[in-house]
Amino acid sequence: AVVFDDDEEEEEEEDIDEVRDEEEEDEDALHGVEAMASSKLAKGADSDDEGEYQDDQYTLNVQEIDAHWLQRKLSEYYDDANMSAKLAEDVIEILSLTDERDCENKLVVLLDYEKFDLIKILLKNRAKVFYCTRIKQAQDEDEKQKIQEEMMDDTVSGGPAILEALQQTATADSWVQDRMQEFRNKSMREAQQLKNLDQNDEAMAAEMDKFIKGNAQAMMDAQGGPRPQEVVDLESLSFVQAGHLMSNKKCELPDKSWRAQKKGYEEVHVPASVHVPAGEKLIPIADLPEWSQDAFKGMTSLNRIQSKMKPTALESSENLLLCAPTGAGKTNVAVMCMLNVLGQYRKEGGGYDLDAFKIVYVAPMKALVQECVVNFNRRLESYGIKVKELSGDQSLTRAEIAETHVIVTTPEKWDIITRKSGERTYTQLVRLLIIDEIHLLHDERGPVLESIAARTIRQVETTHEMVRIVGLSATLPNYEDVATFLRVDPSKGLFFFDNSFRPVPLQQQYIGITEKKALKRFQVMNEICYEKVMTQAGKNQILIFCHSRAECAKTAAALRDMAVDKDTINHFISEGTATSEILREESERASNADLKDLLAYGFAIHHAGMTRDDRNMVEDLYSDKHIQVLCCTATLAWGVNLPAHTVIIKGTQMYSPEKGKWCELSPLDIMQMLGRAGRPGFDTEGEGIIITQHSELQYYLSLMNQQLPIESQLIAKLPDMLNAEIVMGSVQNVRDAAEWLSYTYLYVRMLRNGELYGVTAKEAEDDEQLLQRRMDLAHSAALTLDKHHMCKYDRKTGAFQVTALGRVASAYYVGHESMATYNEYLKPTMSDIELFRLFSLSGEFQFIHVREEEKIELNKLAARVPIPVKESVEEPSAKVNILLQAFISNLKLEGFALVADLTYVRQSAVRLMRCLFDIALKRGWAALAEKALNLCKMVERKMWLSQSPLRQFKALPESIARKLEKKDIPWERYYDLKPADLGELVKIPKMGKLLHAFVHKFPRLELSAHVQPITRSLLRVELTITPDFEFDVKVHDYAQLFHIIVTDVDGEKVLHHEPFMLKQRYANEEHSVHFSVPMFEPLPPQYFLKVVSDRWMHAETTLPISFRNLIMPHKFPPHTELLDLQPQ
């Protein structure tokens, strides 16, 4: 029910929410231009009166300045009266400053540089405006008397003279003189405007530069600093090969390496490098501080690397970079660094102040994140430390983050967290940031690591809150550059260990296939695999990494068939042995047909497409040495620790849905796979074999022998990374952006290897710090953002201004290409068909293309999906559209590449849909916002709006859901049905109770509103929300988010939006929300107030607010009585 309140008294302190159009023209800029044109900016004027005119133009008469003079002046630039009033107060406060330079700087920052005419007037008449405004606004005689006394004391600013001028009675003569002076000023101003039209822009710019030079902090022209000189083509400078960039011209192989040319391929052998200890002493765990020994339970001593690192890692707080081979025990070094932080917060009586710090461990893969959480939880449990995962799959509530001490996260997730200023409450408690696999700087994800590290280092320098940065890396040649980037002291915190420090030395073989034809190449690879497998058959276990699930089965079957044909199968399994019996029994239990076929021969496969039981069985049989040859995908290298004597990487290309083609494996994957070669405690050396194309031999030889320099990939993502900093507020102009670039790894590499990044030798010589180059890069990135409306970039002053689109892009991690597409095509009246089409045009999917073999399957899918696809299936956008609908519809796909593409589309879908929802909300488009939010929920829930709302409960059987969907009963009616009725409805009486429980757990709210007009253009709403459902933590988590949206009578414009969080502990209480909405003439019949669930489909309540009986304030209030005042 809606209750009206006739009380029309205005509340003095009202929180007014005014909805403004996002696309209003920026009139400030227009006023700035007019102001420049109307003032005398050119030098060398030849009129005798011009100097006098210049002074007169900015001189105010004290009689002109009344209580609202300043507010009227500001309202010329700002439409919003409330903003003008607030700015007027701020200006008066600034004018009270005694230091003129400080006053000028603050005015420029507050009012922007384009309003410098007004700023000149304020500075020239500082005391007049300050005192006259205050004295005219004085509420009583006492206040007025105090201000007059203050003026008499202020002889420096001419206070007594201003007071005397104020107290003079205006005579007819002075009035005529004033009017004549005014007319003269006006004539001079008009003449000057005409003259300025013919004058050069450079003269105007020069005068403007002169004016703003005092503001060194905000202006890039201060101290005569460089300006951007050229627009850099960022696309041409970014590396096409990305992480596969090969900047090493020649690879020097270790001694005793040898090459061999064979038919169809070339072979390179690199011997294992063995470390010769020279007086090394391993530190026993018993020698560590007693309180720290619990973290190393089960160990007797630290290994060689950990022993050398112990003084720096455990006993100092130096930034640290450790470069060591895979399997060298880097995790223990990370634990020592964590213990160092813990030691700083030890209490005297025992125990630790765990709430005073946080530790962040950034791992590159979700599989590694989960592994680290288990490992760190086990080792730090005794200290009371809680370790939790924060990744795309696993998000934490604020309460959970508050009680977590070690956060293990992915680079992208931590980047998003640190971008949000609201998360400062816990990010400022971070005392240790550990970045694992920091050699990923060379990868396409490198810019994210650069951004995280640069942001942390800048934060340390600005806030002086110490954060220790620890980088863990594989062996790399230019480790000094990475150390410089992380601000590591080379003499104290830089440690480099080469391949000889591997726990088991690795003998490497590189095989480059020279065969060009695909079928022959496949055969040659299988033959090489067979040959290499036979050298170890019967002696050692072998892991063969393939890059698709189908390829695993094909390779294992091919090897088995070759062994059978050549009568060598007995090398892998002997008849009558216990192993053969075990394998035969287990093969009957296997549910995977390929595995069932292979197991009895001593071969097996392992990939994510198999059931958990099958995978566990394979892992156990392999650990017990029953399986000789295991063909697997990369998931085995990351997730399960199953080392082998020999590892073969069969081919180095895998399908990348992001790029829509087969790409080379990332260096990280290669290193991780070869890290599985050699079993500590069993082997004296391991064997790693990489089979690749001949053209890639040089790259992999360089990679695995520390000769591939790590380069920066930041330029490719520069506009998006810069946008994040602008939105945060840490970069406000081009000079700030150039300074931010000096904290990046890109800057370090530009200084070291400038030519690769387009820096000429002359540029490097003339500008040692490459300031001009950084300015040009920042300028070019800012132009890109400005072009796509993600920020406003003033080319003259270099200032950046955040836009709504820029904020949304930063929050949802969306690239500028996608934002440009949305900005161009998004319309308030879009249908579902158009919204799906727009999603498919996102920049994230620009490299997806349609293959010939997919067209038949896509055509079949297109006929089955509910929303029509207008384009031909040959269009990539049609493919994305069909895949998204197939995902929501739970359709099964056949083609391997199509499944990979679907996974990629699904991963991006929720984020991009949320982005579209936010843009629609910011623009006030109610209908589109509702459609976009419904789409978000469809993707998250994998169901259509037309399906039963009860499908959102996972425990509901599919058969029951289908029965409910066949019944033509409105959803609202379900609340009136009893358990018996619901059981009867689906013809299964025992299901009645379960269905009744689901219906009453479905989020439902009761609404009532109380409205009161504050003015004719503002309405105050008091909304009462009563939850009317059973809150279950297992179903609803600990909180449910709702959107409160007020729309106009047509349901087209959003007049007000705010989030409402319903927490479990208050789920049975009434909630009151107060807000204001604007009113317009003529008065509409009603508004609609909706409260919509953020996650649950069909969970929304609408309340119409009728204005039929609303009593509005008078349009023209009566004048106050004129008082009979006598002049003094």
Q: What pLDDT digit, counting tens, does each position of 285-295 carry? A: 888 888 888 88
Per-residue confidence (pLDDT) for residue 1078, from 0 to 100: 93
Per-residue confidence (pLDDT) for residue 266, from 0 to 100: 84
Look up residue 402 and give its two tokens: 């508050």
Please say if the pLDDT value at position 780 is more than 90: yes
| Mean pLDDT of the region 158-186 | 62
Cβ 740 vs Cβ 458: under 8 Å? yes
Look up residue 491 and give its two tokens: 């003499």
Could you give the CA distance from residue 169 to residue 645 in angstroms, rounded to a whole number? 104
Look up residue 413 and give its two tokens: 């997730």
pLDDT, mean over the chain: 81
Eight-class DSSP state of 466: -
Please say if the pLDDT value at position 701 is more than 60: yes
Please say if the pLDDT value at position 590 is more than 80: yes
Among 748, 720, 753, residue whose Cα is nearest residue 448: 720
Per the model's pLDDT, the better-predicted residue between 651 and 657 turns out to be: 651
Per the model's pLDDT, the better-predicted residue between 929 and 208 turns out to be: 929
Could you give the CA distance from residue 915 to residue 391 in angstroms, rounded to a whole number? 19
Cβ 676 vs Cβ 637: under 8 Å? yes
Q: What confidence tier does 408 reach under pLDDT thresholds 50, 70, 90?
A: very high
Least confidently predicted of 170-174, 236-240, 241-245, 407-411: 170-174
Q: What confidence tier does 321 reach under pLDDT thresholds 50, 70, 90?
A: very high
Query: Which among 133-147, 214-228, 861-875 has the top mean pLDDT?
Result: 861-875
pLDDT tens-digit map of 1017-1027: 899 999 999 99
Per-residue confidence (pLDDT) for residue 393, from 0 to 100: 59
Q: Buried b vs exposed e over 1113-1125: b needs ≥16 C-beta within 10 Å?
A: eeeeeeeeeeeee
Token pair 């895998």 in the structure block, residue: 654
Least confidently predicted of 121-125, 351-355, 1123-1127: 1123-1127
Please say if the pLDDT value at position 457 is more than 80: yes
Q: What confidence tier does 362 reach under pLDDT thresholds 50, 70, 90?
A: very high
Look up residue 663 and give its two tokens: 């790409």
Please state whether the peptide bond connecting residue 1082 to the residue before it is cis, i.e. omega within 30 degrees of 0: yes
For residue 246, give the amino acid letter: M
Q: Which helix (H) or strand (E) holds 958?
A: helix 958-966
Alpha helices in 251-296 (DSSP H): none
pLDDT tens-digit map of 625-646: 888 889 988 776 666 667 788 9
CB atoms within 10 A of CB 1087: 23
Per the model's pLDDT, the better-predicted residue between 891 and 655 turns out to be: 891
For residue 750, give the amino acid letter: M
Q: Which residues are CB-neighbours of 116 under 8 A, at least 6 positions away?
A: 32, 35, 36, 108, 208, 211, 212
Per the model's pLDDT, the better-predicted residue between 725 and 166 turns out to be: 725
Could you give the CA distance from residue 400 to residue 386 in angstroms, rounded to a whole number? 10
pLDDT tens-digit map of 9-41: 433 333 433 334 443 434 443 343 333 333 333
Q: What are phi and psi of 635, to 5 degrees?
A: -60, -30
Radius of gyration of the chain (CA): 36
**How large a percentage of the chain has pLDDT more than 90?**
23
Contacts 24+ apart (CB under 8 A), 217-223: 217/105, 217/109, 218/105, 218/108, 218/109, 218/113, 218/732, 218/733, 218/799, 219/108, 219/113, 219/733, 219/735, 219/797, 219/798, 220/733, 220/734, 220/735, 220/775, 220/797, 220/798, 221/797, 221/798
Q: What confidence tier does 887 reach under pLDDT thresholds 50, 70, 90?
A: very high
Per-residue confidence (pLDDT) for residue 673, from 0 to 100: 83
Per the model's pLDDT, the better-predicted residue between 765 and 167 turns out to be: 765
Could you give the CA distance from residue 596 to residue 442 in angstroms, rounded to a whole number? 41
Name the region of 256 (left: φ>0; alpha: ψ -120 to 50; beta: rest).
Answer: left
pLDDT tens-digit map of 998-1012: 999 999 999 999 999
Q: Which helix (H) or strand (E) holds 4?
A: strand 2-4
Q: Which residues are CB-neighbours of 86 under 8 A, at least 6 positions away?
A: none
Per the model's pLDDT, the better-predicted residue between 246 and 810 turns out to be: 810
pLDDT tens-digit map of 614-626: 888 888 888 888 8
Contacts 24+ apart (CB under 8 A), 965-972: 971/1098
Q: What confidence tier does 205 reach under pLDDT thresholds 50, 70, 90?
A: very low
Look up residue 428 and give its two tokens: 């400022």
Per-residue confidence (pLDDT) for residue 117, from 0 to 100: 77
Q: How many residues does the chain have?
A: 1128
Q: What confidence tier does 549 reach under pLDDT thresholds 50, 70, 90?
A: confident
Per-residue confidence (pLDDT) for residue 901, from 0 to 100: 83
For residue 204, give the amino acid letter: M
Could you give the CA distance from residue 210 to residue 229 in angstroms, rounded to a whole number? 20
Among 291, 284, 323, residue whose Cα is nearest residue 307: 284
Per-residue confidence (pLDDT) for residue 658, from 0 to 100: 64
